[in-house]
Amino acid sequence: MNHPRSVDLEAFACGEPWPDVEAHLHVCAACEAFVARLRGEVARGPKLSPLSSPRPAGSPSPVLRVLTWALPPLAVAAGVLFFLRGTVDHSRGGSEPAAGETPVASAEVPSGTRFKGRPQVAAVRERGGQQERFATDLHVMPGDRFRVEVALDRPETILAAVRGDDGQWLEIMPPGHRGVGTHYSEQAARVDTQPMSGWIIVGTPEAVAQARASGHLDGVATLRVSWDGVSPLDAAGGAGR
Amino acid sequence: MGPLTRDEVTVLYGRYGALLERRARIVLRDEALAEDAVQDLVANLLRRGGAVREARSPYHWLRRATDRACLDVLRRSRRTRAALSLDDVDEVGAPPGLDPEARRKVLQSLEALDDDDRELALLVFLDGLSQGEAAQELGVSRVTVNKRVQRVRARLQLSLSADREDEVTP
């Protein structure tokens, strides 16, 4: 079997559109596993912050090196928490923002910058006080909160929503015109005790509406959300056991 | 093509930096030198990285730039590398279809190759490009690529033989 070039697999793992690679992964377990490992690296993010102390090219490196994590600290935003349930009915709940919580500012790049590609979607999950970023599959369990991170390479009007496999819908980033750069949803989604799985969907309002209506996710950027917790039924030993 | 702004580099590095760092660690097998290469890459992007805006694949463009930064660091590094094993710097492993042992041996022998041959060796023996693809990538003829590939194969065999001969002591 001919496999795609490794550079194409890596580009795909970074979120670039490579239809041939995507098609190949459906028929090649080895490449699928390789891309999954690459996505794990991508999800962990770069270790260095080269822009924090740029040096002229070719200059001697300092004796002391400090590796800093490039991911910025993400404060939990003030605002309403949304509750996601496994049943069709979902309700919106609110809680007072915790002390010290501040809204997250978006990092915007001046317009006119244009790279090629779709919006890049990631999720930042808070579990037990620990925050972790996911660029591929997001696994959730009861008590988790997660926020959506969207990187745009051109100014665009977008919105982000969570679409459950059971059809439930939660808009987590309202439609708005956003510039080039990285944006975080102002509000977090909170997972309650019911199992849930679905997709985080990001795109223009038209594309997202189309995806919601048709169930096809071709025209939007997505991130899979999967249940990681124990269902109440299993925890209770199962009904009738 | 001009420079990139710091914000543009921030966006690119946030998206691609993890795998570019992996590439640098694999090619150099030295954390400190890999960091140097990344610093050089970023400095070059800030000076004249504008061409990436028009690239069909920003990642392809950035990875080639990373390779060149790594080879520059290798060329000017005067200290002995604290070369780590490939397993220590790369948890992902070799891509499917590539001989992992050949990949390992090429990386261990990179310093033994001529400057002109190193980039080709990465493309052909590390990334699995065909000679035609490598010729296109480097902007040279297939004949040139073929000659260099033969040269690299001969050089690697020599170094491999030397290692095996060293192990056999009278």
The predicted structure's pLDDT at residue B70: 95
- pLDDT tens for B4-61 read 888 889 889 989 999 999 999 999 998 889 999 999 999 999 988 989 998 989 999 9
Chain B residues with CB inside 8 Å of A181's CB? 7, 10-11
Supply angle C-alpha B129, A19, B104, rounded to 5: 30
**Closest A-chain CA to B74:** A58
The predicted structure's pLDDT at residue A98: 38
Pick among B15, B40, B62, B81 to test the A interface (most A CBs inside 10 A): B15
The predicted structure's pLDDT at residue A182: 82
Burial class (CB in 10 A: 0-12, 13-18, 19+), B154: exposed
What's the rounded mean pLDDT across residues A87-98?
A: 32
Distance between CA A180 and CA B85 in Å, rounded? Answer: 40
A151 touches chain B (CB under 8 A): yes
Q: At what angle do helices B131-138 and B142-167 cross, to 10 degrees?
A: 110
The predicted structure's pLDDT at residue A202: 92
Q: Which of A5, A41, A61 sits opposite B32 (nearest CB)?
A: A61
Identify the band that residue B166 occupies on the pLDDT scale cut at 50, 70 and 90. very low
Distance between CA A122 and CA A39 in Å, rounded? Answer: 12
Supply angle C-alpha A199, A21, B119, rounded to 5: 125
Q: How far apart are the first and last CA of chain A?
A: 49
Distance between CA A168 and CA A152 in Å, rounded? Answer: 26
Q: What is the length of chain A? A: 241
Phi-psi category of A79—alpha, beta or left, where left has phi over 0 and alpha has psi -120 to 50? left
- pLDDT tens for B46-77 read 988 989 998 989 999 999 999 999 999 988 87
What's the rounded mean pLDDT across residues A24-41?
A: 94
- pLDDT tens for B72-120 read 998 887 655 667 888 888 889 989 988 777 788 888 888 888 888 999 9
The predicted structure's pLDDT at residue A181: 80
A16 contacts B58? CB cut-off 8 A? yes
Chain B residues with CB inside 8 Å of A61's CB? 32, 35-36, 39
**Closest B-chain CA to A71:** B14
Query: What DSSP string runs through B26-68?
Result: HHH--HHHHHHHHHHHHHHHHHH-GGGGG-S-HHHHHHHHHHH
The residues facing A198 across adjacent strands are A164, A225
B19 contacts A13? CB cut-off 8 A? yes
Q: Which of B44, B55, B95 sits opposite A6 (nearest CB)?
A: B95
Distance between CA A235 and CA B9 in Å, rounded? Answer: 48
ipTM of the predicted structure?
0.88
Residue B160, classed as helix, strand or coil, is helix
The DSSP element (H or E) to which A158 belongs, if any, is: strand A156-164
Distance between CA B112 and CA B165 in Å, rounded? Answer: 17
- Report A:60-119 residues touching B (Cβ under 8 A): 61, 65, 67, 70, 107, 109-110, 113-117
The predicted structure's pLDDT at residue A7: 94
Burial class (CB in 10 A: 0-12, 13-18, 19+), A32: middle
C-beta separation of B113 from B105 below 8 A: no
Q: Which of B10, B32, B98 sits opposite A51 (nearest CB)?
A: B10
The predicted structure's pLDDT at residue A92: 34
Dihedral Cα A194, A198, A204, A207, nearest 10 deg: -130
Q: Which of A46, A65, A115 sits opposite B53 (nearest CB)?
A: A115
A41 contacts B19? CB cut-off 8 A? yes
